[in-house]
Amino acid sequence: MEVCAVRRIAVVGAGQAGLQVGLGLLGAGGYEVTVVAARRPEEVRGGRVMSTQAMFGPALRVERAAGLDLWEGEAPGVRSVDAVLVPEPGVRALEFTMTMDEPAQSVDQRLKMARWLELVEERGGRVEYRELDLAGLRELAAANDLTVVAAGRGELAGIFERDAARSPFDAPQRRLAALYAHGVGAPDPAAGPRARMHAVPGVGELYLQPALTLSGRCDILLWEALPGSPFDCFDDRPGAVEQLERMRELMARYLPWEAELWAGAEPTDPGGSLCGALTPVVRRPVAELGDGIAVLGIGDAVVVNDPITGQGANGAALAADACLRAIVERGDGPFTAAWMTGVFEEFWERHARHGVELTAALLTMPDHLQEVFAAAGEHEAVARRLARTYADPADYAEWLATPELAAAYLASVGWSGSVAHP
């Protein structure tokens, strides 16, 4: 009988992508897993929020299948998103509801990653707590059969070369702020958990979603400000309380109906706010470190999207799943640079490129997309398909990628209107 040697796999980064790969390999059996984490679980729980982490049906199904859906009963399941266009301050124009096929969910990554990290050790994996530098990465990779770099947008991602042809932007498209709050009202509390989306052309977008945080249920506001617009006012990183005050003032001017719902709100905790900006980028998935050593990048380490379409954590979850399956299928075969490239390219074509293209389109809103949103205001089928495309961006290529595809689809649902393009 042939006996397979235990394979040693190292994972750098204890986020959505890295922990899912690590825990997946421990579940599969036959792997010696080392996760390198920059922070201990208690530091993660006591730290600042990292994301708004809305996750859609396909990514949640992957977590469920892996037994990692530990908050399923507690986290609100969001079935619909109420969208409002605000063409000028205080004016509600186009309004529609996007109903999702499967509920979306947001579990504070502080809660989720801290617990998943503890699970790695409970399930027999090793965790090394340190911030890995390039020399440390080389050493780690030399000692393992495969090293997966899932270190997010940090410095280490610089080992993966930027892929200019696939990177849609070279600067941040929005200035971001997020706030976790208790006490936010709902327009119709009897309707169950619903997300809300406000687009203020030339100024920015606001996304509100019910979520689960360390202190229970909360609402999370993702604030997407066009650089230089009135919404772009958190560069000084004011802290949760002051950030909420400024947000409330701006909401009172632009979205007074939303400001009313925030009248009694307060931040969930001092770490419940976030400000900054990110440059969307696609990198080459393999870094050669010399002496024949190559490492594979997944998640934000190689594909970074603006959160406007919520593709980051979803993409990281699906990338981790693809990576895990490929490792297991590889059996005793060598983890060569060519194999790594193949794993990424397959995932790029099937999923990642669509997320990047959808996000670029939503950031720039070409005329045909404005038309689709206008049609969604009148046709439930269009709104539903938009919701489906956020959850599975591969559908973008089928109906939104070109003006011709969008026109053909809109004609098929009987839309004959048009929007005035500025």
30: left (phi over 0), alpha (psi -120 to 50) or beta: left
For ligand FAD, the closer of residues 271 and 312 by Cβ is 312
* Shortest Å distance, C-beta 281 to ligand FAD: 12
For ligand FAD, the closer of residues 105 and 370 by Cβ is 105
Cα–chain-centroid distance for residue 306? Answer: 8
**Interface with ligand FAD includes 199 (CB under 6 A)?**
no
* Shortest Å distance, C-beta 108 to ligand FAD: 11
Strands 7-12 and 31-37: parallel
Tokens 């394979």: give the residue: 7
**Interface with ligand FAD includes 173 (CB under 6 A)?**
no
> Can you tell me which of 150, 322, 323, 391 binds ligand FAD, judged by CB under 6 A?
150
**Interface with ligand FAD includes 36 (CB under 6 A)?**
yes
**How does DSSP assign 273-312, residue by residue?**
EEEEE---EEB-SEEEEETTEEEEE-GGGTEE--GGG--H
Site for ligand FAD in 53-72 (CB under 6 A): 53-55
Site for ligand FAD in 261-280 (CB under 6 A): 274, 278
Q: Which of 188, 268, 151 is nearest to 221 (CA)?
A: 268
* Shortest Å distance, C-beta 320 to ligand FAD: 8
Site pattern 108..137 for ligand FAD (x: CB under 6 A): -----------------------xx-----
HSE on the CB side for 224, CA within 13 Å?
25
> Can you tell me which of 7, 9, 11, 16 binds ligand FAD, judged by CB under 6 A?
16
What is the SS3 assignment for 88?
coil
Burial class for 71, CB neighbours closer than 10 Å (0-12, 13-18, 19+): middle
**Interface with ligand FAD includes 52 (CB under 6 A)?**
yes
For ligand FAD, the closer of residues 58 and 310 by Cβ is 310
Site pattern 213..252 for ligand FAD (x: CB under 6 A): ---------x------------------------------
Q: Which of 282, 300, 340, 338 is nearest to 9 (CA)?
A: 340
> Can you tell me which of 81, 206, 281, 313 binds ligand FAD, judged by CB under 6 A?
313
* Three-class secondary structure assignment of 211-269: EEECCEEEEEEEEEECCCCCCCCCCCCCCHHHHHHHHHHHHHHHCHHHHHHCCCCEECC
> Can you tell me which of 57, 310, 355, 393 binds ligand FAD, judged by CB under 6 A?
310
Contacts of 383 (CB under 8 A, 6+ apart): 83, 96, 97, 98, 99, 376, 377
**Interface with ligand FAD includes 23 (CB under 6 A)?**
no
**Interface with ligand FAD includes 210 (CB under 6 A)?**
no
Total of chain residues touching ligand FAD, rule CB under 6 A: 38
**Interface with ligand FAD includes 22 (CB under 6 A)?**
no
Q: Which helix (H) or strand (E) holds 198?
A: strand 194-200
**Interface with ligand FAD includes 24 (CB under 6 A)?**
no
* Shortest Å distance, C-beta 142 to ligand FAD: 17
**Interface with ligand FAD includes 159 (CB under 6 A)?**
no
CB 29 within 8 A of CB 123: no
CB 32 within 8 A of CB 25: no
Strands 95-106 and 78-85: antiparallel
* Shortest Å distance, C-beta 248 to ligand FAD: 19
**Interface with ligand FAD includes 144 (CB under 6 A)?**
no
Q: What is the DSSP letter of 6?
A: P
Structure tokens given for 409: 């689809």
> Can you tell me which of 11, 38, 146, 148 binds ligand FAD, judged by CB under 6 A?
38
Site for ligand FAD in 86-105 (CB under 6 A): none
Structure tokens given for 373: 């949103």
For ligand FAD, the closer of residues 300 and 321 by Cβ is 300
What does the binding site for ligand FAD look like in residue numbers (CB under 6 A)? 12-18, 36-39, 51-55, 131-132, 150-154, 156, 176, 178, 222, 274, 278, 299-300, 307, 310-314, 316
